[in-house]
Structure 1
Amino acid sequence: MYLKDIDLRELYRKWKKNLKQFRGFYRSTPFVTLQDYDDFKLKCCEQGKYDELAENILLQINEGTLCIVDLPFDVIIDIALVFNNKYRINPVLNINMFFNEHGIIGTEDNISKLINNSLMLEDINTDKFIMLYDYDRYDDSIDVKKIYDKLNNQYGIGDDDFPHASFLKRFGYGKVSVFTKKVVKEDMKLQLDYLQKEIEVKIEEVECFE
C-alpha cells in the first residue's frame, strides 16, 4: 500500500467525527500536509505494544477528570486506537505536525503508523474524551541555526490548543490528569501552571519504551 492510494480526507474525517465540543482542539495539519508528500510504500506497523499503557492510564482517572496524554507520536497514535476501539473513548488528536520530507520532525514510520491506525479506527459515539499531544513536537537540544539541510517544522502548544478552565467547568470537568514523561515540556507546563489556578491538575510520570 502506497501513500498515494490513501484517501487522506476520509481519514481526517474519521478522527474528527463525533468530537462534539472538543472538535476545536483537533488539528488537520498532518493530513493536509501529507497531500503534498512524496509517495512511498507504507510500512506494516506493530499493534498492541501499548495496550497495557492505555489500560494503566485509564485506571488512574475518575469521573469528572479530563485525561491529557503528552507522549511520543507513535505512542499516542497507538493508544488513541486502543482508547477508541476498545474503551469507546474519543481521542482528540492535537497534533499540529507539518509533515515534510526534509522536516526536522516527522518520519515515514510516523506516517505509516498514523495511516494504518486511522484505517482501523472504528466509528463510535460517546461523551467520553481524551486529549493527546505529541511530545516530540520540538526538541530543545537541537540548534536549528546549525541545521542547513532540514526544514524547521517543530511546533509548540498555544492557547488555542489547550482547554481553558471555563471550558472544562462548563462540561463538568473538575480535574485534569496529565500523563507525560519525567521532564514536562515547557509549553505544556505553561498551560498547566495557568490552568491550575482554577482547576486541580495532577501530573503522572509515564515510562514508555519506543
Structure 2
Amino acid sequence: MKGKNMNLKEVNLREIYKKWKNNLGEFRCFFRSTSFVSLQTYDDFILENYKNEPNKEIITKIIDEYNEEDFILVDLPLDEILDLSLELNNNYFIKPILNINLLFHPFGIVGSKNNISKLINTGIKLNEVKSQKYVMLIPYDRYNEELDVKKIYDKLNNQYAVTDEDFPSPDILKRLGYNRIVVFTKDNVKEDLMNYIDCFKNEISVKIVRVEK
C-alpha cells in the first residue's frame, strides 16, 4: 500500500488498525479503536503526503530515560506523537501504545485532515516489531482548557479527557515489572493527566519530564 496521493476511502482502515495494535501484549486493551471507527464515515479527501518530522531532542530524552523498570507515558500534540511512534517503533524497536480516543468528525473541534493523514501514513510505514519494550502516547490536544465551547456554534465538541481507565493501574504495572511512571509532556500538565498521577502517586513513583512549553 502506497501512502502518496491516496484518498481516504481507498485506505484499508482495518489493516492500519491491526498494524498499530499488533504485538502490544498485555497493553492491547489500552489501544483505542475510536479514531479508526469514526473514519469509516468521514468525508472523503485526498491524504497529505507524509513528512517525517520526529523531534530528535525528545527522542533522545526518551531513549536516555528508558529502562525496563520505567513505564514511559508521552502526552504531546497528536502529530508529534505519531512521528515519535513511527521513529521509536522502526528505529528503536519500542512498541508505541497509541492511546487516541478521538472521534474524528469533519466539523470537530479536535482532529484535522493533517492528523488523519499522518495517522494513516505512519501506520502504513510502521514495521512489525516484536518487543517487550513499550511506550504509551496520548494526544495533548485532546481538549483545550482555554476554549469556551459555548461560543462555538459551527463545530462539534469532540474534545475528551482521559480517565484512570485509560491507563494501566499501579498493580498492573508492578506485576509487569515496572516500578515507576515517567511522563513526558509540556510545561503545563493537563488536569486530567494530573488527576491520574495524583491518584496513584502514593502507590508508584512518578517522574514528570517537561519537554515543551
TM-score range for the pair, normalised by the shorter chain length = over 0.9
Aligned to 2:103: 98
TM-fit CA distance, 1:54:
1.4
Extract structure 1 runs of 4+ deviating beyond 4 A: none
Mapped to 2, the partners of 1:50 and 1:35 lie a distance apart of 30
CA offset digits 1:41-66 (Å, max 9, x no partner): 01112104423421221112323001
Classify the secondary structure of the residue corresponding to 1:155. Answer: coil
CA offset digits 1:117-149 (Å, max 9, x no partner): 010000011111100000000001111111111
Letter in 2 for 1:205: R
Whether 2:93 is the aligned partner of 1:81: answer no
Aligned to 2:3: none
Letter in 2 for 1:176: I
Whether 2:73 is the aligned partner of 1:68: answer yes
Classify the secondary structure of the residue corresponding to 2:92. Answer: coil
On the 8 A contact 1:51/1:82 being kept in 2, the answer is no
CA offset digits 1:84-104 (Å, max 9, x no partner): 100101100110010000000
On the 8 A contact 2:54/2:87 being kept in 1, the answer is no
The alignment yields a C-alpha RMSD, in angstroms, of 1.1
The 5 Å alignment of 1:107-146 reads 107-146=112-151
Q: Give TM-score scaled by structure 2 length.
A: 0.95
Where structure 2 has 5 or more consecutive residues not aligned to the other structure, the ranges are 1-5
Distance 1:90 1:96, change over 3 A: same
Mapped to 2, the partners of 1:104 and 1:48 lie a distance apart of 24
Classify the secondary structure of the residue corresponding to 1:132. Answer: strand
Letter in 1 for 2:90: N
Residue identity (%): 50
Q: Give TM-score scaled by structure 1 length.
A: 0.96
On the 8 A contact 2:73/2:137 being kept in 1, the answer is yes
Match of 2:185 among 180, 183, 203: 180
Aligned to 1:167: 172
Equivalences, count: 208
Mapped to 2, the partners of 1:14 and 1:117 lie a distance apart of 10
Where structure 1 has 5 or more consecutive residues not aligned to the other structure, the ranges are none
